[in-house]
Amino acid sequence: MQTKSAASEREPQAKAGLRLVLLGVMASVGWGVCGCATSAPELRPAPAAGERVTTAGPAAKARDTEKFPTVMLMIEEKSMGTIATAEIDNLATEMLIKEQVPVVDQDLINAKINKQQQLLKIAGDPRGAAALGLQFGADVIIVGEVVSKPAARRIEGSNLRTYQGIATLRALRTGNGAALAAASAHASVIGVEDVAGSSEALRAAGKQTLAKLLPDMLRAWEKVGGEPGAGRFTRIALTIGGVDQMWKLKAIRETLHNLDDKTQKVVQRSYSSGLATFSLDSKVSIEELSELLVVKAPQGLKLQVLNIGTGELDLRAVAAP
């Protein structure tokens, strides 16, 4: 009986010793001793160049909206081919605000200008559209046309009619009139009532076009750092009067070529009766260029600013006191 009792006492001790040995082996090969499984970190492909990366969790960085452009809308939209509407303006405003892009208020535009007259003036004139956008402090102006019309005949054997919507839009940089993005689309809907059918076709075509135009516009804007003119040269037509001697012409030309890499492709276009014209590409805005020329005028000369327009700068050279 004593032998059996001693054996039974040694059995738990042996099991405990064996368990300690197993735990040691498990620890040596890196297994968890708490019974919890440790998953391997998730592997994700590296983001492509230029791809926006979003970080989840409390450390996530907020989207930098300060570099977004202020956008102005000047879209000609007509339902039934003749009825002026504001559906696409409202739709574009909603889509831009959702992306936290600032938009010039349409009521402010309507209070200051006759929109229909301005639409006629800027049609086919990128510089005119850009100049209008600058008046309202916009960095980008979206222009174009969205029109819907009903088919001439109803569908045979029914009261249904086809309604066609066509949209063509462009986003222009107001600093130089350059196109940032363009898109177009058409849509067809079937309806019974002309007003509702035309409105639905107009909205469908506009929505498709905006869905492509707005992301393309923001990507193009972000490529230049979100600043007007950043990383991009603006073509400027420069006219300087009072250049009545050849040494003055030479001094001005050399100054334009040596503005700390702010200009390139400087070309003298003409010189007649003391008036010299140049074309050049400027890395800074036209306002900054005018200030730079005034400060760094050639020795013996003083440059006065007469006019600053969209892509046009007029100066006058006078003898320095």
Counting beta carbons within 10 angstroms of the beta carbon of residue 321, is it exposed (0 to 12), middle (13 to 18) or buried (19 or more)? exposed
pLDDT by residue, tens only, the chain of 321 residues: 444 444 455 555 555 554 554 445 444 444 443 344 444 434 344 444 334 333 333 333 344 556 789 999 999 999 988 888 989 999 999 999 999 999 999 888 888 888 777 777 777 788 888 888 888 888 899 999 999 999 878 887 788 999 999 999 999 988 778 889 999 999 999 988 888 999 999 999 999 999 999 999 999 988 765 554 444 567 788 999 999 999 999 999 999 999 878 888 899 999 999 999 998 888 888 888 999 999 999 999 999 999 987 678 999 999 988
Instruction: Say yes or no: 126 and 262 in one domain.
Output: no
Q: How many CB atoms lie within 10 A of CB 129?
A: 26
Instruction: Say yes or no: 216 and 111 in one domain.
Output: yes
SS (H, E, C) 26-88: HHHCCCCCCCCCCCCCCCCCCCCCCCCCCCCCCCCCCCCCCCCCCEEEEEEEEECCCEECCHH
The tally of domains found in the chain comes to: 2
Instruction: Say yes or no: 92 and 199 in one domain.
Output: yes
Domain for residue 253, yes or no?
yes
Instruction: Say yes or no: 79 and 195 in one domain.
Output: yes
Domain for residue 254, yes or no?
yes
Return the pLDDT at 136.
Answer: 86
φ/ψ of 274, rounded to 5, equals: 80, 10
Domain for residue 51, yes or no?
no
- Residue span of the structural domain in which 277 resides: 234-319
Domain for residue 145, yes or no?
yes
Domain for residue 250, yes or no?
yes
Domain boundary residue, one of 160, 193, 223: 223
Instruction: Say yes or no: 214 and 92 in one domain.
Output: yes
Instruction: Say yes or no: 238 and 216 in one domain.
Output: no
Domain boundary residue, one of 223, 242, 266: 223
Find the CATH number of the domain harbouring 166: 3.40.50.10070
Domain for residue 4, yes or no?
no
SS (H, E, C) 151-177: CCCCCCCCCCEEEEEEEEEEEEECCCC
Domain boundary residue, one of 176, 196, 223: 223
Compute CA 11 distance to the chain's CA centroid, rounded to the nearest angstrom.
Answer: 78
Instruction: Say yes or no: 176 and 247 in one domain.
Output: no
SS (H, E, C) 74-138: EEEEEECCCEECCHHHHHHHHHHHHCCCCECCHHHHHHHCCHHHHHHHHCCCHHHHHHHHHHCCC
Instruction: Say yes or no: 191 and 245 in one domain.
Output: no
Instruction: Say yes or no: 274 and 137 in one domain.
Output: no
Return the pLDDT at 40.
Answer: 40
Instruction: Say yes or no: 312 and 277 in one domain.
Output: yes
pTM over 0.75? The answer is no
Domain for residue 64, yes or no?
no
Instruction: Say yes or no: 193 and 135 in one domain.
Output: yes
Instruction: Say yes or no: 192 and 252 in one domain.
Output: no
